[in-house]
Amino acid sequence: MVHFKPIDFAQTNFFSSLVLDYNEQKERLKPFYRFSNDNLGIHDAINQVKQFTYNRKILVNTLIKQYQSIDYKENIQFNLMLNSSTFAIVTAHQPIIFGGPLYFIIKIANAIRLAQDLKKQFPAFDFVPFYWMGSEDHDMEEIGQMQLFGKKIIWENDSKGPSGRKSMNTIQPLLQTLNSILGNSPNADKLKTIFEQAYSSEKDLKSATRQFVHSIFCNYGLICIDGDDVDLKALFVPIIKKEIFERKSFDLVEASSTKLVNLGYKKQSTPRQINFFYLGDTFRERIIWDEISKMYKVNNTEITFSEDEMKAEIEINPQCFSPNVIMRPLYQQTILPAIAFIGGGGEISYWLQLKAVFEAYNTFYPVLLLRNSVQPIMQAPLKKWQKLGLDLSYIFLDTKAIQNHFLALREVKEIDIEPALEKLNIAFQHLNEIAKTIDLNLLDTIGAEQKKTENVFKQIKQKLTKAQNQQFENQYNQIDNIIKSWFPNANLWEREESFASLYLKFGDKILNEFIDNMNPLDLKFYLILED
């Protein structure tokens, strides 16, 4: 099977200083979060979330409605959420065709593991893992892609509306292509069945994603919740109104962002004066206040509202108001009694900009946990790597540094002509001193000859270096090919490749391995090594 080797996130060189410093709970970042990212923070969050009220009945009724087409059996206990002693552990992501890259699965596995662990630590409470599906997003470049064995499957769809509402009626040819890539094996047959059941032509993307996630994680009590829901949006109406008419978030986020930038960090997200889109089946456009006409306008449409009309629209059609990246976390926390949110580096970064907004709207700000990341290191390329004499710790270095390590192992030193150039310089200085006593006009000639000689030395170095590189060209190519297989598109494997390649090799057991071996409270990056 596999085993998991934990390393620090900083060793990978793939994470921002903001994320790394947050993981280490640097003192200067404490104003930007509420709870520490450890068991003590979890304990404090449990105690403080009790002060907030949630409409659990509407939540449960909505979940039952959203799952009405799925046979969820007894392993998903919606009614558990009716109890004030039950809390959510949440991760979030937009729907992605065929499960997208591996990290989508890792996010969910992290939420499940944390919920399991907290139940053991706090037996008086229940903890339910949630996947919040961002079905209102419309970034089709990310939503409509999956990659398996380096082969990209792209769903061409130019619709501008919310991704979750997109019909599956054009995805069937892609399903056939995917099936051919999966090949024939017992595990491939299982995957084919999962994909075919989920992505049938009569479904939309959000119901397909829900079915897919349920098929993968149905035995772990995971609940998928879709925010594109009229009943859930109705619970958010008070904040929608305040945000649109009072526009608190802009100044608050800008102030937090400025403080973070002054501390040397990069700003992750930029607020707008109004942080909501207006939503229809075929569009999702920004709401803009026009100071001249004193009207609210929906960008790139003819739709306008006076202030009174906008107030009425929010009350009558709350489902039409879609939060952007600034307001989505507040929406999520308004609906779910979540004590912890598990996200990637980008998500943690923009959540750190939002604490003041949560406080302004009296909304519970949860424990923030950076999800575990994984880097699969399969046996075949690892054996080649080891045969080259290279250590596993080198994999996150740049190619030149790896080549230097390779040469050092063979006691091949970089060709250095500086000592020779220094001696050459001394010799020509000596000649200059002689010329000064004989004929000053010869100084220019000597200088020119020195330049020529230095260039000859440099040309010789280039030829020697080229010859040396040719000597090890085959090994260099091996190193380059191995690195490309581990880091497709110069990115972490988990951010590019589908979980399907691991599932094909290990079957359902790989899901158990993820859950059993990773823990977001460990704050670790994991190398997955094949036994």
pLDDT of residue 39: 96
Structural contact between residues 358 and 365, judged by C-beta atoms closer than 8 angstroms: yes
d(CA 460, CA 443): 26
Task: Give the separation between CA 240 and CA 316, rounded to whole angstroms.
Answer: 13
pLDDT of residue 465: 79
Q: What's the pTM?
A: 0.89
Q: What is the DSSP string of 457-479?
A: HHHHHHHHHHHHHHHTHHHHHHH
Note the pLDDT of residue 295.
97
Show the tokens assigned to 526: 């994991």
CB neighbour list of residue 263: distance below 8 Å, 6 or more residues apart? 28, 29
Helix (H) or strand (E) holding 173: helix 172-182
Q: Are 123 and 116 in contact (CB under 8 A)?
A: no
Q: What is the pLDDT of residue 310?
A: 98
DSSP 148: E
Mutual angle of helices 418-438 and 442-471, in 10-degree steps: 170
At 413 the pLDDT is 64
Query: Would you state the pLDDT for residue 217?
Result: 94
* Residue 277: predicted pLDDT: 97
d(CA 146, CA 140): 12
Q: What is the pLDDT along the chain (531 residues), one digit of tens a residue?
A: 899 999 999 999 999 999 999 999 999 999 999 999 999 999 999 999 999 999 999 999 999 999 998 887 667 889 999 999 999 999 999 999 999 999 999 999 999 999 999 999 999 999 999 999 999 987 777 888 999 999 999 998 776 789 899 988 888 899 999 999 999 999 999 999 999 999 987 789 999 999 999 999 989 999 999 999 999 999 999 999 999 999 999 999 999 999 999 999 998 999 999 999 999 888 999 999 999 999 999 999 999 999 999 999 999 999 999 999 999 999 999 999 999 999 999 999 999 999 999 999 999 999 999 999 999 998 899 999 999 999 999 999 998 899 888 888 876 667 777 888 888 788 888 888 888 888 888 888 888 888 898 888 889 888 887 877 777 888 889 999 999 999 999 999 999 999 999 999 999 999 999 999 999 999 999 999 988
φ and ψ at residue 429, rounded to 5 degrees: -60, -40
